[in-house]
Structure 1
Amino acid sequence: MTPPLRVAILGAESSGKSTLAQALAERHGTLWVPEYLREFVDTRQRVPVSDDQFFIASMQVRREDAAAALARGYLFCDTTPLMTAVYSNHYFGGMDRELAALTAMRRYDMTIVTAPDSPWVADGLMRDSDQVRQSIHRQLLDELRARQIAWLEVGGSLEQRLARVEAHLPPLRA
């Protein structure tokens, strides 16, 4: 079986990553990998600390790899270790070697960045403020540039985002 094309969907909090990932998976009859951080916060009833960052990113990767074995055509990944690295840099002033290595080794066939152009919505422990969201967005774009990772930024309504992604999705492998 041909491995799926992995599509990374990155963005700051409350920017529509999960909604877009789920809609793309439904449209293509395949799987999406939800963001593990949300589960971490919900089950532990706390925000992560610096020492949690590698664990969170590695759980995301494990779930992504498990889903890849079942996905057809595409696998839509609602965040990647790179996003964990951006947040680690923002909140903790850097990242440990394990997280840096995991982030560096992960490759995706396409990277999508969701624009923070929708209304910001508070979500318990998971959300800070629109100012933090805008700052994280800028930091993410800087990190993508520094790593020379090409990306497609999508904004607007879900329908506009879907149309933009569909126009740029890489063709499936034969």
Structure 2
Amino acid sequence: MIKIIITGPESTGKSTLTKSLSNYLKEPFVPEFARYFIPTLKESYTASHLVDMARGQLFWHQLYRSNANKVLLCDTGVEAIDIWFQYRFGSIDPQLRALFIADEECVYLVCKPDIPWEADPLRETPHQRPQIFNSFISLLDKFGKKYYIVEGQHEEDRLHCALDHLKKILP
């Protein structure tokens, strides 16, 4: 089983790409835990909430694994929460970093911020997307994680780009 994490800055088409890959490959996908967790909070999220989100996301990865055949498609992973923690709180959380490093058997599809920003109640950084994208690449490089960059101005272009990358690794 290959675990594919679709990741990148906010508003880069991650969820759309994940659903498209799921339809194309006839495999289930793991939704983004934060989209369900944050709306349940009675207050703004805190640093400890981000650690809870990472654990929840990993739990969902394990939960959905039994439904997948050859590929587990994940709409984001701990790497995104790790990077978000740095941007939001200005430091690295050792628990998040350890969870990211331990999540070894993954291939990342990093979505490039080359499509227009779309506002959303959970999105906060319309102007920092290029810098955040570079943070993803730096983090993945630093820890020797395997990744491919997904780009394209249109949904179909991004899907074809992702599929071209997946052909290199899927049996």
With the length of structure 1 as denominator, give the TM-score of the two structures. Answer: 0.89
Structure 2: distance between partners of 1:46 and 1:161: 36
Aligned position for 2:123: 127
Instruction: Note closer, same or farther for the CA distance 1:45–1:23 as it changes in structure 2 (3 Å cut).
Output: farther
Contact 1:8 1:108 in 2 (8 A): no
Contact 2:3 2:71 in 1 (8 A): yes
CA deviation after TM superposition for structure 1 residue 132, in Å:
2.3
The answer on 1:71 being equivalent to 2:68 is yes
* Aligned residue among 134, 138, 145 for 1:138: 134
Q: Deviations over 1:101-158 (max 9, x none)?
A: 111100234210001111101112x112321222211211111121122311111122
Contact 1:122 1:129 in 2 (8 A): no
Aligned position for 2:163: 166
Aligned position for 1:55: 52
Structure 1: distance between partners of 2:105 and 2:2: 8
Q: Give the match's secondary structure for 1:35.
A: coil
Structure 1: distance between partners of 2:97 and 2:163: 31
- Percent sequence identity is 28
Aligned position for 2:149: 153
The answer on 1:40 being equivalent to 2:46 is no
Unaligned runs of 5+ in 1: none
Instruction: Note closer, same or farther for the CA distance 1:137–1:17 as it changes in structure 2 (3 Å cut).
Output: same
Aligned position for 2:14: 17
Aligned ranges 1:95-134 → 2 under 5 Å = 95-124=92-121, 126-134=122-130
Structure 1: distance between partners of 2:43 and 2:29: 25
The CA RMSD over aligned residues, in Å, is 1.5
Instruction: Note closer, same or farther for the CA distance 1:135–1:45 as it changes in structure 2 (3 Å cut).
Output: farther
With the length of structure 2 as denominator, give the TM-score of the two structures. Answer: 0.91
CA deviation after TM superposition for structure 1 residue 47, in Å:
4.2
Structure 1: distance between partners of 2:162 and 2:22: 12
Aligned position for 2:86: 89
Instruction: Note closer, same or farther for the CA distance 1:47–1:114 as it changes in structure 2 (3 Å cut).
Output: farther
Structure 2: distance between partners of 1:28 and 1:117: 25
Unaligned runs of 5+ in 2: none
Contact 2:82 2:93 in 1 (8 A): no
Instruction: Note closer, same or farther for the CA distance 1:46–1:153 as it changes in structure 2 (3 Å cut).
Output: farther
1:138 alignment partner AA: N
Q: Give the match's secondary structure for 1:130.
A: coil
Structure 2: distance between partners of 1:73 and 1:137: 28
Q: Could you list the structure 1 runs, at least 4 aligned residues long, displaced by more than 4 angstroms after superposition.
A: none
Structure 2: distance between partners of 1:120 and 1:53: 23
Q: Deviations over 1:51-74 (max 9, x none)?
A: 111110000000011101111111
